[in-house]
């Protein structure tokens, strides 16, 4: 399993799992299937009629960013909480896959990406007969929203510097920096779980969110203590999970990013806004293949005019 491969990669075999949706509370069965070259990551709702069911996992199909990333299509079909799975697929070097679900949300599992990494490892990874595509950042693009700020700048590989800051002494200010070289995602980010605050649980459920949340799938902070009996997996698990989310959101670029990301107090909304700003400027990026340089004629297809707005 390598993210430095020059050929596109997919799963060797299909593999399934079941779990609860973090926000919907619905039990969902999910199957990861191999997919053909140049198809990218696509989701299929098999509980819906086939003409409504398929959604491409791309930056311009994101329709909601409240506490998770949700994609949708023109038929009104949605799939929520895709970011942990997308991060795992990106971190494991999967370029093409079909994700089949019988419900509206990717199962949350333990709140991290580690179960999805395990699924990919069990299914196996196979190289395909097509060059891998890279999306090279050519000039700095940034987005700000209040205290939140994100940027992409030229660099080699994909490097991430993430900072969070809370008025809570348990979390406080945390920063993590890493480059997604071989094994980095699995070892440094994949096990970091999503987190929340006990004081916000009732409000979230009144908003129709976190209905499936529990200490089994999230780190819950109550004042200055962690309620989970097993404590934290990393001293700075909070910022590591934020970086994990960022990898999943940036994977919606649809190709291997070559650039340097920096985020401060950021989240799904700012990450998606950053990709939209990048693709809105054709001089800010270039599509390349791993073995043949620039890809001619693909730019308009790769960055279509967004048909769906981020909520």
As given in the structure block, the two tokens for residue 156 are 């080699």
Q: How far apart are CA 83 and CA 95, in angstroms?
A: 15
Beta bridge partners of 45: 101
Find the catalytic residue in 33, 84, 134, 268: 268
Contact 31, 16 (CB under 8 A): yes
- CA dist 225 → 168, 230, 233 (Å): 10, 12, 14
Strand order in the sheet with 195-197: 195-197, 219-222, 225-226
DSSP secondary-structure letter at 61? G
Pure H helices in the chain = 83-91, 114-123, 184, 201-206, 237-250, 268-279, 299-302
Q: What is the DSSP letter of 96?
A: B
Distance in angstroms between the alpha carbons of the first and the last residue of the chain: 35
Contact between 276 and 252 under an 8 Å Cβ cutoff? The reply is no
CB 122 within 8 A of CB 32: no
Maximum distance among all Cα pairs of the chain, rounded to whole angstroms: 55
Q: Does the annotation mark 268 as catalytic? A: yes
CA dihedral 203, 209, 214, 220 (to 10 degrees): -50
For residue 260, give the 3-state DSSP assignment.
strand
**Which residues are tagged catalytic?**
268
């Amino acid at each position: 399993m390598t993210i430095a491969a020059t050929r596109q990669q997919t799963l060797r075999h299909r593999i399934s799992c079941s779990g609860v949706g973090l926000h919907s509370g619905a039990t969902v069965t999910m199957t990861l299937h191999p997919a053909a070259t140049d198809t990218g990551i696509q989701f299929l709702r098999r509980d819906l009629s086939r003409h409504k069911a398929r959604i491409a996992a791309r930056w311009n199909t994101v329709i909601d960013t409240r506490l998770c990333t949700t994609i949708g299509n023109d038929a009104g079909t949605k799939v929520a909480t895709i970011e942990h799975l997308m991060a795992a697929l990106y971190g494991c070097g999967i370029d093409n896959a079909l994700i089949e679900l019988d419900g509206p949300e990717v199962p949350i599992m333990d709140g991290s990406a580690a179960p999805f990494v395990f699924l990919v490892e069990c299914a196996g990874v196979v190289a395909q007969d097509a060059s891998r595509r890279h999306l090279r950042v050519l000039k700095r693009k940034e987005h700000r929203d209040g205290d939140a700020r994100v940027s992409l700048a030229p660099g080699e590989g994909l490097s991430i510097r993430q900072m969070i800051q809370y008025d809570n002494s348990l979390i406080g200010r945390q920063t993590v920096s890493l480059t997604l070289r071989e094994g980095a995602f699995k070892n440094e980010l994949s096990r970091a779980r999503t987190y929340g605050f006990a004081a916000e649980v009732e409000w979230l459920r009144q908003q129709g969110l976190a209905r499936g949340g529990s200490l089994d799938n999230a780190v819950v902070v109550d004042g200055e203590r962690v309620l989970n009996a097993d404590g934290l997996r990393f001293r700075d698990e909070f910022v590591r999970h934020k970086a994990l989310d960022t990898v999943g959101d940036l994977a919606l670029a649809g190709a291997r990013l070559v650039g340097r990301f920096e985020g401060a107090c950021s989240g799904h909304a700012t990450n998606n806004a950053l990709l939209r700003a990048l693709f809105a400027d054709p001089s800010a990026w270039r599509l390349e293949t791993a073995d043949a340089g620039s890809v001619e004629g693909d730019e308009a297809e790769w960055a279509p005019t967004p048909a769906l707005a981020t909520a």
